[in-house]
Amino acid sequence: MPFTTQIFTFGFFPVSMILYYLAVLLEKIPLLKKCRLTDLALIGISCGFYMWACMDDIVGFAAYIVLVYLLGLAIQKIRQTNFSIIAVDGENNQKKFSMALPVVFLGVAAIVGLLIHFKYTGLLADLWNLLAKDTLSGKSIIAPLGISFITFSAISYLADIYMGKAAAGNLIDCALYMTFFPKVVSGPIVLWRDFSTQTRDREINLTHISDGVSRIMIGFAKKLILADTFGACIAKATVVDVPTAWLVALLYMLQIYYDFSGYSDIAIGLSGMLGFSVKENFNFPYLSCSITEFWRRWHISLGTWFREYVYFPLGGSRRGAKRAIINVAIVFFLTGVWHGAGWTYMLWGMINGVCNIIEKLIAKKTWYEKTPKFLKWAATMVVTFFCWELFRFADFSACLEWLKTMFGLVTFPSIPYNWQYYLDARMITLVAVAILGATVFGLPKVQSAYKWLTQRTWGYLIHQILLVALFVIAILFMINSTYSPFIYFQY
């Protein structure tokens, strides 16, 4: 049940909020205070949300949660008893290893194994056929909804308990974390150490509710007015001329940003209304002056997850520059693989990784430091622009054909519509608004002016009136257009 649908907006959302706030009120009764009615209500609401989209997966999801809970409990029990073994190396040096490590390893292996089974069977079969010159056929398996993000949550739960970053929760805590409906399908990825502190200690007040509603309205506007309009144009433009091919590539660059950041806004807003604080997932990535900076601003929760559970455990930069480069390469390779079981995703991740490594190597070079900031920004946007074309297509051949079309190497004898048909006054206005919103609005001076304005009573009222107007327009777009799922639902 995606957020920007009529059933969610006019049905599930108001009903679930009424039930949740009713549980909050009931929990204030002394006799019911320890019953955790709000958590139980939220788990029920989240399971209902998940079941609406995929009823067949809910039993398996429940078993998955119990498995994660039991593994976390076992890890904590072993850590508390300090059960460990002592190994002696060739130089007679003793090293102490906690027996919780094998449990973590087996648990993570099982969790990742399930992800591979559902998402990468076909890719592994293709790889085997390529290396062994075999004809093995990979079965097409329908992956459970949100399996990638659920996997990240499960690994975070086990790893944080093992590293002592957070204590294991009881079954209610674990179920609440794993099922929490604002994040379960497409993130943002919330680490267990951040979520666990809020399972028993969170506050719901009018300010949180008001801020959450405002954030949701912004997300709806991003998704329905901008991202879906760009997506509809992209879907129609298949046989195109050169200018239209470049226009479509630009529209996709804008669409994927407003689609995913819009989803994140809605998820963060919903979480706020429920009393949970979720960290930002985007920070104007199209203002970045390097690929390294881009990944600090784009899908921030994904970068945080890989840094905490892959980059740092591999040694980060503590073992020297060469090891740091290898670790960065591993992280970006895994980032590409995680996004999809396709070679284009791998290449996309590898290109971003290579750019990141090159930037690390030249960061302190005099010529690089003296390079104008605008040129660094332009170079970053060019790389990002073409990388998104790899991300857009499922295979190399389709991507290559489109790139050839962009450069006039592939032409069509008959073009139904030229670029002027797609780039009408309405589209020009939306593209201009999207570009300004993704760049100029994120500049420090503009952000300061925005903050100053919204802190004034009159400015706050104008701001809220504009948000309501945008939300109404977004609802009209939702009602009058064909449903378009969030891009990141496929991951």
Give mean pLDDT, residues 97-114: 88
**Count of domains forming the chain:** 1
Write the pLDDT tens digit of every residue in 298-334: 999 999 999 999 999 998 888 888 899 999 999 999 9
Per residue in 417-464, pLDDT (tens digit) is 888 899 999 999 999 999 999 999 999 999 999 999 989 999 999 999
Residue 97: the pLDDT is: 61
The predicted structure's pLDDT at residue 489 = 53
Higher per-residue confidence, 73 vs 122 = 73
Whether residue 112 is contained in a domain is answered as yes
Question: Is position 97 within any domain?
Answer: yes
Q: Is the pLDDT of residue 485 over 90?
A: no
HEC secondary structure over the chain: CCCCCHHHHHHHHHHHHHHHHHHHHHCCCHHHHHHCHHHHHHHHHHHHHHHHHCHHHHHHHHHHHHHHHHHHHHHHHHHHHCCEEEEECCCCCEEEEECHHHHHHHHHHHHHHHHHHHHCHHHHHHHHHHHHCCCCCCCCCCCCCCHHHHHHHHHHHHHHHHCCCCCCCCHHHHHHHHHCCCCCCCCCCCCHHHHHCCCCCCCCCHHHHHHHHHHHHHHHHHHHHHHHHHHHHHHHCCCCCHHHHHHHHHHHHHHHHHHHHHHHHHHHHHHHHCCCCCCCCCCCHHHCCCHHHHHHHCCHHHHHHHHHHHHCCCCCCCCCHHHHHHHHHHHHHHHHHHHCCCHHHHHHHHHHHHHHHHHHHHCCCHHHHHCCHHHHHHHHHHHHHHHHHHHHCCCHHHHHHHHHHHCCCCCCCCCCCCHHHHCCHHHHHHHHHHHHHHCHHHCHHHHHHHHHHHCCHHHHHHHHHHHHHHHHHHHHHHHHCCCCCCHHHHC
Q: What confidence tier does 487 reach under pLDDT thresholds 50, 70, 90?
A: low
User: Does residue 462 sit within a domain?
Assistant: no
* Domain, as residue range, for 177: 6-201
- Note whether residue 402 is domain-resident: no
pLDDT, position 132? 72
| 150: in domain | yes
pTM reported for the whole predicted model:
0.91
According to the model, what pLDDT value does residue 128 have? Answer: 67
299 inside domain = no
Q: For 189-234, write each residue's pLDDT tens digit.
A: 999 999 999 988 888 889 899 999 999 999 999 999 999 999 999 9
In a domain, 472, yes or no: no
- Under the banding of pLDDT at 50, 70 and 90, the label for residue 490 is low
Mean pLDDT of 17-26: 94
For the chain, give the percent of residues with pLDDT over 70: 92
pLDDT at 83 over 70: no
- Among 184-188, 235-239, 274-278, whose mean pLDDT is lowest? 184-188
Q: Pick 5 or 257 by higher pLDDT.
A: 257
Residue 98 included in any domain: yes
